[in-house]
Structure 1
Amino acid sequence: MNINRARVLSCLAGASVALFAMGATAADLAAPQEAPTAYEALSTKSPWQIRVRALGVITNDSGSIDQAPGVGLEYSDSVVPELDITYYFTENFAAELILGTTYAKIKTDGLGDLDVGKAWLLPPTLMLQYHFTDFGAFKPYVGAGVNYSLFYNQSDRAGFTGLDVEDNFGAALQVGFDYMLDEHWGINFDVKKIFLETDWKVDNNALTNGPLSGKAKIDPWLIGAGVTYRF
């Protein structure tokens, strides 16, 4: 009886060791690995990118003067530098913050082309972009977003005082491409359309006894070319 009991205990001990070894092996095989983020699973690149562009600002000469129906406004075009900062959520989706400043000279259209004044414009724009990734080094993208235009350092011309162009929100659309020369450097071409209409007013000492006011519909095209750097 003691011999049989010893054999049973020996068999149970051996079975326990075997089961423990199998369990340890299975645990090793099934040990969870730290899951990569969605971005890391797609790319080993940094999600950050910057661009520096030369930007042509082409305005839409449109607007109105409440006190002079049929008379519009004209604005000067300009060429300015632009910086934008891009963050890639994935290889396809990104957000871009566009920074730059420009100015516009304001004239009446149909009222003797009078110089009304000049206003500087700071139009930070936030875009949500989709980047196409099936074309090798050629990487086109499209974007849509919102712009907030701040007018500052506004100055008057002879006969006018107190020029005030109001800050306002506008929608923005974008299309462009990067052509990557290597992993980090590329060249960029980009076109944006900003839909910007705002109120304006100015005191007129030459033509009326009161201020002029109306709508300034600027709606600029922003056409840029420059250099891309992907971190």
Structure 2
Amino acid sequence: MKKATARAVALAAAAIAATAAVAPVHAQDSGNWIVRARALYLDPANKDNTGLDLSVNDKAFPEVDITYFFTPNLAAELILTYPQSHNVRSGDTKIGSIKHLPPTLSLQYHFTGMGWRPYVGLGINYTNLTSVKFDPAVEAALDPSLKRDSFGLAIGAGVDVPLGGGWLFNVDVKKVQIKTEVSSFGTKVGTFKIDPLLVGIGFGKRF
């Protein structure tokens, strides 16, 4: 795990502990909906078998997620954000840029009967790659192209810490499968897997 990701996870754990220590104990807040706003840190795995040593940069960005409870324990969560821009590198050299829009829908199990509200989830991610641009020299030499659509699994876990009045503090960690096929002059040369780890921290409201 990268140092930056380890720091993000450690800070999230410390924030949970600090919030739980000062948060008053409340009865379970009612309501079938939770809307959260979170800051996400994206740490890509950058698994490449094309021989080009491809990678995209890590980054932080905001997101909004909506959760609907079918029962007190079973819920569906949809994560939404705006298209995220990444630099594409071959080794240490920037060769282009992409944008991706990665909505993720998960089915979650929420544990009840305790002050915290931990949960686990399994879902599917759809990523659409847009604004794929390569430097002119790379275009002339390789005529590269990427498959624009990616479907993959998403697995995650998190915790909601009630703050009272339906408000809550949230920390969430997900591993998401995102990959694209890389072609040169119309011929597939390999697969590039971004497969990011997403660490989120934020606040929400249940109603």
Q: TM-score, normalised by structure 1?
A: 0.70
In structure 2, distance between residues paired with 1:102 and 1:217: 16
Alpha carbon RMSD of aligned pairs, Å?
2.1
Task: Select the structure with the greater relative contact order (CA < 8 A; seq sep ≥ 6).
Answer: 2
**2:164 alignment partner AA:** D
1:63 counterpart = 2:63 = no
1:116 counterpart = 2:95 = yes
| C-alpha distance 181-158 of structure 1, shift in aligned 2 (>3 A) | same
1:46 counterpart = 2:31 = yes
**1:121 alignment partner AA:** H
1:125 aligns with one of 90, 93, 104 = 104
Following superposition, the deviation at residue 44 of structure 1 comes to 8.2
Following superposition, the deviation at residue 194 of structure 1 comes to 0.4
Alpha-carbon contact 2:30-2:166 (below 8 Å) kept: no
Match of 2:8 in 1: none
Q: Report which of the two structures shows the higher radius of gyration computed on alpha carbons.
A: 1
Alpha-carbon contact 1:154-1:163 (below 8 Å) kept: no
In structure 1, distance between residues paired with 2:175 and 2:30: 30
Alpha-carbon contact 1:155-1:163 (below 8 Å) kept: no
Match of 2:191 in 1: 215
Alpha-carbon contact 2:29-2:206 (below 8 Å) kept: no
Gaps of 5+ in 2: 1-27
**1:123 alignment partner AA:** P
For residues 152-231 of structure 1, the aligned pairs below 5 Å read 152-161=130-139, 164-166=145-147, 167-201=149-183, 213-231=189-207
What is the CA deviation profile of residues 2-44 of structure 1, one whole-angstrom value per residue up to 9, with x for unaligned ones?
xxxxxxxxxxxxxxxxxxxxxxxxxxxxxxxxxxxxxxxxx88
1:145 aligns with one of 114, 120, 123 = 123
Gaps of 5+ in 1: 1-42, 204-209
Taking only the aligned residue pairs, the percentage that are identical comes to: 39
